[in-house]
Amino acid sequence: MKTFEQIILLLVSGQGLLLSFALISSILKKNYSSFFLGIITTVITLEILNIWGMRASYHSLENAFPFWVFGSYLSLPPALWLFVKLNTQPTFQLKPKYSIFFIPTIIEITTELFSFYSNRLLRTNYQLIENSFWYTLTEIVPIITMVLVLIFFVKELNRLNKRLKKMPIAKNKFLQTSKLYIFFLVFFSLTLFWLLITIFNFKVFIVVEIILLLFLFVLGYIGYFQPSFFNIPKVLKAEIIKEKFSQYDDEKELKRLNTLFENEKIYIQQKLSIKEVASRLHLPERYVSGIINSYHNTTFTSYVNSFRVADVIERINDPKESNKTLIGIAMESGFNSKSSFNSIFKATTGKNPSSFLKR
């Protein structure tokens, strides 16, 4: 049984390390939200690996590498705080000054490494965990600050809900932000049990272990099959659009855009560009692109094609159009080739165009 448990711990740890590396390396693409989530998953992964080390008596090996030293709890509160800021306040700008929050983590890791190798090589007997000041700094302070960050998290979720209610046109807005609620519940649970173990000495290690394992396993699964899960929700990027183009009324301009497509049917023009649409509306291209991305959760090209596909289906079922070929209808609806029509139609509806023929 112990061997089976150790295998599970190692497998999940391996998955966690891969996920953490992928998230942390996203900083190269300036995806700071994923980077800070990567710091959190790294600490959790090292904690699971540490559990394995204790079960397998790895720590007592003469040449054991002290990987557990790098899983500093002090890095969790600032990483989660910055993750929340970036995911709920899209206009938030990450500045070099925020790196100061991770100085205690660097100090802890450096001190722990020095202590470990001093004990091994110089035969000293430093027991940092028995020092009350060190214990308070590395165990109690992180819990207190995590509680404060979770309170901040709740407030930001509340503000986010209020902002979303003012965005009635945005599609799947709550579905897009559901990950924030999932993360909150996970970190709330972990902090609660962490508090019970450290402050009140409750024996709930197995519960924490299960939560950590499930969190990493599910997150790794999602990361593999749906990497976009880790991106900032598109619906929140409307805040950036509003910040840059505050002189425009989003709701009013969206109605004008809708009129241009539904009533004037501008989409029937082949090779329609966003430049032309913006010109017709007398609006900046970036603004038009932004409101389509934010409120319709799609790209300009997909937005145009959705109207074209709907127009084709309507014409197919119109008896007045029965004398026209399918490709003829597609061309009149704005498509410029048979191949693009077939691929776009199937991608949009999940069916081939011929399956909609009723004549």
pLDDT in tens, 44-92: 999 999 999 998 889 888 889 999 999 999 999 999 999 999 888 867 8
Q: At what angle do helices 250-262 and 300-316 cross, to 10 degrees?
A: 40
Residue found under tokens 């934010």: 294
Quickly state the pLDDT bin for 349 (edges 50, 70, 90).
Answer: confident
Task: Quote the CA–CA distance of 249 and 261 in Å, as a whole number.
Answer: 19
Task: Dig out the tokens for 314 from the structure.
Answer: 């309507």
CATH of the domain at 341: 1.10.10.60
- What is the average pLDDT across 186-214? 87
Residue 271 clears pLDDT 80, i.e. is over it: yes
**Quick count: other Cβ atoms within 10 Å of Cβ 25?**
13
- What is the average pLDDT across 277-289? 90
Instruction: Check whether residue 158 and residue 258 sit in a common domain.
Output: no
- What is the average pLDDT across 180-200? 89
- Burial of residue 19 (CB within 10 Å: 0-12, 13-18, 19+) is buried
**Residue 141 domain-assigned?**
yes
Task: Quote the CA–CA distance of 337 and 87 in Å, as a whole number.
Answer: 41
Structure-model confidence comparison of residues 224 and 122, the more confident one: 122
Residue 359 clears pLDDT 50, i.e. is over it: no
pLDDT tens digits for range 219-261: 888 877 777 677 766 666 656 666 667 788 888 999 999 999 9
pTM: 0.70
Instruction: Check whether residue 272 and residue 194 sit in a common domain.
Output: no
pLDDT of residue 162: 78
How many domains in the chain? 2
Closest CA to 288 of 249, 334, 254, 240: 254
**Residue 257 domain-assigned?**
yes
Instruction: Check whether residue 124 and residue 228 sit in a common domain.
Output: yes
